[in-house]
Amino acid sequence: MIPVQGLEGARVAVLGLGRSGLSAARALAAGGAKPLCWDDNPAARAKAEAEGFACVDLKAPGAFDKVARLILSPGIPHLYPVPNPVVAAALEAGVPVDNDIGLFFQSFATLAWDNYDTAPRVIAVTGSNGKSTTSALLHHILRHVGRPTQLAGNIGRGVLDIDPAIDGEVVVMELSSYQTDLARALTPDIAVFTNLSPDHLDRHNGRGGYFAAKRRLFAEGGPDRAIVGVDEEEGRFLAGQLSEAPGDDRVIRISVTRKLTGPGWQVFARKGFLSEYRRGKQVASIDLRDVAGLPGAHNHQNACAAYAAARALGLAPKVIEAAFHSFGGLPHRSQLIGEIDGVRFVNDSKATNVDSAVKALAAFENIRWICGGLEKEGGLGGLAGVGDTVRKAYVIGREAAAFAMQLEVETQVCGDMETAVAQAVAEAEPGDVVLLAPAAASFDQYDSFERRGEDFVAQVQRYMTR
């Protein structure tokens, strides 16, 4: 646990008692603060009370009297589409609003570091797609070379649940736009921006607000080194803002759409090969085509980001390359489930938006595509042109018929996962890939993309055991 510093003796309100909320309450108490907890769910309040925390209705008049700060869980709106009433009350009372990420950054460094040979470092990864794989891959590389490391944030442990850092440790942290948008302190040593595509637009009042939330990690955080994906206009703009001159190697630009040139530091992947250039000269190259855990261009972008971060830490290219080959990938992200009679089954349930689904579809050929779910804002127009690799789509979800009508490929309305997998298995031929890449959220039928992916795996395994 990371005890919260700077709030000793203070009354601190905590709204939302899920994983991050309870973790924040524990860390606040460990640091000598007095948490006042609330959640509209009685079961969540009961769990907090069982741990000895006081639960106080933060909607009650005077609830924020003598309160130093409100700590907010990431799922609770603080500004758009409308502020949560408790947040509005806190701001009206002049109480600052923060989250567990802000508490972490104000508390991570301790006086014990004065005795370390190498100060601990934090690498924070954000972006629309690839955050989890990039973070996990970088964590894997560090473990491969024997560097002490912890994985935290949206993947691994909660940021306040990790252990206090030891000499030379590197904390790899995955951060969402919800987290970067609100944190009052953001001070990573290295920050990574993978890419940007439309997502969570209601929470950020549009694409501009969404990008602004991501940009805070760099503009507010002032990292020593920034790794920026420049395949979208926003990434190119961000890299330009952070650079003092074209040759400023504090910014490492990454791409999977073209060769990057110039006097700076670049890492890019083309035709399955990752290349590193510095001052206009190539210094390393890695063949990614046989790296089983990183299939497709979208994973090659993740490889570029993790490679650049590892290089910024001083690791050698050959060491990083060896670590790539032992990386097994992540569940629900281009995860190979198995093969039946020459047909491969791939679970990419994490493809919850159009952009991530397009990237998953580009990684394979002869696809039997299982898709559908709760359609996100922006529609499905970005799926135009995917038909070259898709043999047929099997559509699930409560609005499967409406979803199917927007696709430019042969479709079959299946409704549920069991039916979709059964039909795909019945029609698949050797060389086909049955791919779950929903291009939609899961909440119309499942409580998370993980549950959806687990259902797909369970359905496939029924046929593997026959």
Does 330 map to a domain? no
Q: In this predicted model, what pLDDT tens digit does every residue of 250-259 receive, in sequence order?
A: 999 999 999 9
Nearest one of 177, 168, 161 to 129, comparing CA atoms = 177
Identify the pLDDT of residue 12: 98
Q: DSSP per residue over 215-275, as a string?
A: HHHHHTT--SEEEEE-SSHHHHHHHHHH-SSTT-TTEEEEESSS---SSSEEEEEETTEEE
Q: What pLDDT sits at residue 381? A: 83
At 239, which CATH number? 3.40.1190.10
Tell me the two tokens of residue 169: 């440790």
| CATH number reported for the structural domain that contains residue 445 in this entry | 3.90.190.20
Residue 446 confidence (pLDDT) above 70: yes
> 267 - beta bridge partners?
254, 276
Of 98, 129, 153, the last residue of a domain is: 98
Closest CA to 142 of 116, 122, 163, 169: 169
Same domain, 144 and 90: no
Listed in order, strand segments (DSSP E) in 127-211 are 149-153, 170-174, 190-193
Higher pLDDT, 296 or 23: 23
Domain C-terminal end among 50, 74, 98: 98
Does residue 16 form part of some domain? yes
State which residues form the domain around 374: 335-464
Based on the domain organization, do 164 and 192 belong to the same domain? Answer: yes
Question: pLDDT higher for 109 or 355?
Answer: 109
Residue 194 has a pLDDT of 97
The verdict on 344 and 451 lying in the same domain is yes
Same domain, 305 and 386: no
Predicted confidence (pLDDT) per residue in 143-176, tens digit: 999 999 999 998 889 999 999 999 999 999 999 9
Average pLDDT of the residues of the chain: 94
**The amino acid at 137:** L
Residues 176 and 301 in one domain: yes
* Alpha carbons 104 and 2: distance in angstroms, whole number: 7
**Co-location of 303 and 402 in the same domain:** no
**Domain count along the chain:** 3
Which residues define the annotated binding site for ATP? 127-133
Q: How confident is the model at residue 201 (pLDDT cuts 50, 70, 90)?
A: confident
The answer to whether position 159 is within a domain reads yes
- Please state, in angstroms and rounded to a whole number, the distance separating the CA atoms of residues 58 and 56: 6
The reply to whether 38 and 141 lie within a common domain is no
Cα 326 from Cα 281, distance rounded (Å): 28
Domain assignment of residue 6, yes or no: no
Omega into 81 within 30° of 0, i.e. cis? yes
Q: What is the Cβ-side half-sphere exposure of residue 422, based on CA atoms within 13 angstroms?
A: 7
Read off the pTM.
Answer: 0.86
What CATH number should be reported for the domain holding residue 35?
Answer: 3.40.50.720
Q: Are 166 and 86 in a shared domain?
A: no
229 in Cβ contact with 254 (< 8 Å): yes
Q: Are residues 77 and 144 in the same domain?
A: no
> Pick from 282, 279, 226: which is nearest to 254 by CA?
226
C-beta of residue 115 within 8 angstroms of C-beta of residue 287: no
Q: Domain ends where: 293, 325, 357?
A: 325
> φ and ψ at 339, to 5 degrees?
-140, 140
d(CA 220, CA 242): 12
Cα dihedral 28/34/217/274 (nearest 10): 20
What is the model's pLDDT at position 396?
98
Known binding residues? 127-133
Neighbour count for residue 51 (Cβ, 10 Å): 12
Say how many C-beta atoms besides its own lie within 10 A of residue 13's C-beta. 24
- With contact defined as beta carbons under 8 Å apart, do 434 and 428 qualify? yes
pLDDT for position 331: 86
Look at residue 103 and tell me if it is in a domain.
no
Q: Is the CB of residue 379 less than 8 Å from the CB of residue 387? A: no
Strand partners, 287: 273
- Whether residue 104 is contained in a domain is answered as no
Would 305 be classed as within a structural domain? yes
The pLDDT, as a whole number, for residue 119 is 96
Radius of gyration of the chain (CA): 23
Tell me: do 228 and 342 sit in the same domain.
Answer: no
Does 465 have pLDDT greater than 80? Answer: no
Q: Is the pLDDT of residue 192 over 80?
A: yes
Can you tell me the mean pLDDT for 200-212?
A: 90
What number is the average pLDDT over the span 214-228?
94
Portion of the chain with pLDDT greater than 70, in percent? 100
The verdict on 242 and 271 lying in the same domain is yes
Is 394 within the bounds of a domain? yes
Residues 284 and 222 in one domain: yes
Residue 393 has pLDDT above 80, yes or no: yes
Alpha helices in 51-156 (DSSP H): 85-92, 100-107, 131-144
Q: What pLDDT is recorded for position 466? A: 66
State phi, psi for 172 to the nearest 5 degrees.
-100, 125
- Phi and psi, residue 345, nearest 5°: -120, 120
Out of 59-73, 310-324, 376-390, least confident range: 376-390
Residue 209 has pLDDT above 90, yes or no: yes
